[in-house]
Amino acid sequence: MEQSYKKIEKLKSEKLIEKLFAEGKSVVAYPLRLVYLKTSFDDAAIVKAGVSVSKRNFKKAVQRNRLKRLMREAYRLNKSAYFNNITEQYAFMILYTGKSDSDFKTVSKKMNTLMDAFLKKESQPKP
RNA sequence: CAAGUAAAUCGCCUUAUCGCUGAAUGUUCAACUUGAUUGGACAUUUGGAGGAAAGUCCGAACACCGUAGUGCAACAUAAUGGUUAAUGACCAUCGGUCGUGAGAUCAGGAAAAGUGCAACAGAAAGUAUGUACAGGUAAUGCUGUAGUGAAACCAGGUAAACUCUAUGUGGUGCAAUGUCAUGUAUACCAACGUUUGCUUGCCCGCCGUUUGUUUUUAACAGAUGGUGGCAGGCGGGAGGGCGGCACGCUCGAUUGUUGGAGGGUAGACAGCUAAAGUGUGCUGGUAACAGUACACUCAGAUAAAUGAUAAGGGCUUUUUUGUUUUAGAAUUUUUUUUGAAAUGAAGAAGUACAGAAUUCGGCUUAUAGAUCUACUUAAAUA
């Protein structure tokens, strides 16, 4: 259960995504960038997440597919360590802002630092 | 053997762990309209990218919109015959060009409709006429020959120059389209325009004139004129349609046309994967292909699945090294050494191009490497 990544946990609604990019905050761990928004869903998922790779930087569909798969895999394997203590619901969009290809090890490592940064930023008391 | 030519096929594999997605079956939970219901969870079984899925260049299926016609324009095609659902694709034959050859390739209609263009050579490639020689004249490139060139004047070349001829071509693409859900706006602002003329038929109401009959201050019947209603025709009518233009046709009014400024939904299901389907055999055909028998079912996602990690194995290239065979050189024998081929071990590097999105048939482009079939070989070398 902890390592799965079902349909319910995927960010699908076009409206929500629009809202996310309009109002969301972001943290960066190059080459990854996380845009997130505190929101609420009808169903039970804690976090709904999506991944994206720019067509401008990667022209070939094969390259984009591979990077998205790597990011999805890294998210899937790491998320349980971070989200056990979260009570509110979030929408996530993870972007690959780098311009060169990458492998699973670096993506996974960067995903960890990205999640650390996210938790740190959210746990700070708001002014 | 080597070098080629043509056609075809394949295009990484195995195991473990963790996942994604379609379907079937089962268990279970929830909802209510209580059932062949809907939605979720779990388990098991099983399917899950390509030869180009790519480019979107042709041709179709399918869907919606449009559709009297004529002319012009635009675009495409261009030997002959065939194949096909169809094509600009494919096959065969003829012809041109290239190659020793197997074969490759062609933008293969028309130059006696017109306009243009033409390297080098040459005096000159056309409102030309020089040189030499010969002939001729009153006189003159007036005539012939030589010379240049593919071509030297009622001639040719060029149409991957315009052009002409023949044939063909409606538009938009599955974000099509339909159903349901949600929402609702025939709202608001501005500009422009119609709301009417003539005529035919019918209807009955009213008014007038007139004729006949009778029960004669009147009633009834008929004719005619005016007015009103309904229907049709002709004209007028802002603008729209016939996605290039013109003629022409057509639609067109208290819910009009054009423009401005805005509002709602952007979610589910169908379309959607059993088809011009795939494989094998046989028959016909030179072939493209057709017919037939048997077998098979082979992705359906939607911020978009088909993956990640680890270990091992293939394959290719290359380095080091061992063994065997073979050719040569040195040497009295032993032996040493150089090249080639086969094979073993160890190491290193590489393992391509590329990701379905309605579906087919082609074409084009990209592609590490591997397999297989048929055929050709002039010269040089052995």
Give the pairing type, strands A89-96 and A47-53.
Answer: parallel
Q: What is the pTM of this model?
A: 0.72
Count Cα neighbours of A87 within 13 Å in the Cβ-side half-sphere.
1
Is the minimum distance from the CB of A8 to strand B below 7 Å? yes
pLDDT in tens, A57-114: 888 888 888 888 888 888 888 877 777 666 677 788 888 888 777 788 888 888 888 8
Tell me, what's the ipTM?
0.84
Angle between helices A61-83 and A104-123 (to 10 degrees): 50
Enumerate the nucleotides of strand B whose atoms come under 7 Å of any protein CB. 18-21, 41-42, 49, 266-267, 302-310, 354-356
Query: Please, what are the domains in chain A?
Result: 7-114 (3.30.230.10)
For tokens 């597919």, the residue is: A65
Q: Do residues A94 and A52 touch, judged by C-beta distance below 8 A?
A: yes
